[in-house]
């Protein structure tokens, strides 16, 4: 089974899966310009901070290759640098709360400055450096997700064992998650859902539960769709059923993503996360937050 892709990219071409139509329609939209990218991000065609950050970076790379002839359209290095930084600033306004969008913009702006200041710099060399930086940002997110999945799976198993709880055996766990933190929210694989994927790949997942995640229903529309698409044993539950599941001993651990982690360690995430944390604490169910290094405050 082919993994779901929120982002399809090859140099000079970018497409975003229209997540507003899922699960009923599977349709990609072409990103032909910076303005188009801004609109699609703003309209939630693509969502999830990691995916938004990658989409912004690759939109700029695609624009520079397809619309600026890989730098040949610019008359000077200064013009090239100004165009790139203006485009980055504009893209960030499409979703100011997506920390990865700002993170990616800052990294590409730094790569732009370095390339523009290099001896013998040309518009083409600056564009090439920016495109490579955007492509590297894409790959780094995927590697980060897989690392989160592997470390998270080990942490869940260890904590469940330490607390002496597991639904059937210590080798297979029933895990509950909230919102959508999978391939559709990232460059691929996922963060919290990546932990569940990793457990499944290791033969350690008994069952996954995903909540509806009202009011936008990311769990019902997206996470349930991902779990079914990838063939993982899973059940969609209404948000208000999570407490009953934990009270019944049907959940061994909870893993969620995060929109932001502040310096104190406190976490902001989708509405409903706090409720799950309180219920998990009440029933001695391990509760984990899976997030990349871009999520905590600097």
Distance CA 155, CA 245 (A): 22
Q: What single DSSP character describes residue 296?
A: B
CA distances from 23 to 17, 184, 219, 223 (A): 11, 12, 11, 10
Token pair recorded at residue 62 = 């695609």
Catalytic residue among 141, 259, 266, 297: 259
Token pair recorded at residue 233 = 């044993």
Q: Report whether 147 contacts 178 (CB < 8 A).
A: no
Catalytic, 259? Answer yes
> What's the number of CA atoms in the CB half-sphere (13 Å) around residue 246?
24
> What's the number of CA atoms in the CB half-sphere (13 Å) around residue 277?
14
Token pair recorded at residue 267 = 């976490």
Query: Catalytic residue positions?
Result: 259
């Amino acid at each position: 089974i082919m993994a779901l892709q929120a982002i399809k990219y090859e140099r000079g071409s970018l497409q975003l899966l229209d997540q507003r139509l899922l699960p009923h329609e599977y349709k990609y939209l072409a990103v032909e310009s910076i303005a188009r990218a801004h609109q699609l991000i703003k309209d939630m065609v693509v969502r999830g901070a990691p995916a938004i950050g990658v989409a912004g970076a690759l939109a700029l790379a695609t624009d520079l290759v397809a619309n600026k002839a890989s730098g040949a359209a610019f008359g000077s290095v200064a013009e090239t640098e100004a165009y790139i930084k203006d485009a980055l600033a504009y893209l960030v306004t499409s979703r100011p709360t997506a920390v990865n969008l700002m993170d990616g913009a800052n990294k590409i702006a730094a790569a732009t400055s370095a390339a523009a200041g290099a001896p013998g710099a040309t518009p083409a060399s600056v564009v090439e450096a920016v495109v490579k930086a955007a492509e590297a940002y894409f790959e780094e997110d995927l590697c980060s997700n897989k690392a989160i999945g592997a470390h998270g799976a080990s942490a869940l198993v260890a904590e469940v064992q330490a607390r002496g709880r597991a639904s059937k055996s210590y080798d297979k766990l029933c895990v509950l998650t909230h919102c959508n933190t999978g391939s559709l929210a990232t460059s691929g694989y996922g963060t919290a859902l990546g932990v569940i994927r990793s457990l499944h790949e290791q033969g350690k997942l008994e069952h996954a539960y995903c909540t509806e995640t009202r009011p936008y229903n990311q769990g019902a529309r997206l996470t349930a769709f991902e779990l079914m698409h990838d063939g993982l044993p899973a059940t969609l539950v209404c948000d208000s059923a999570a407490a009953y599941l934990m009270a019944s001993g049907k959940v061994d651990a909870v893993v969620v993503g995060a929109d932001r982690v502040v310096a104190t360690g406190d976490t902001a995430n989708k509405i409903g996360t706090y409720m799950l944390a309180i219920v998990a604490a009440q029933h001695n169910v391990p509760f984990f937050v899976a997030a990349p290094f871009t999520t905590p405050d600097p």
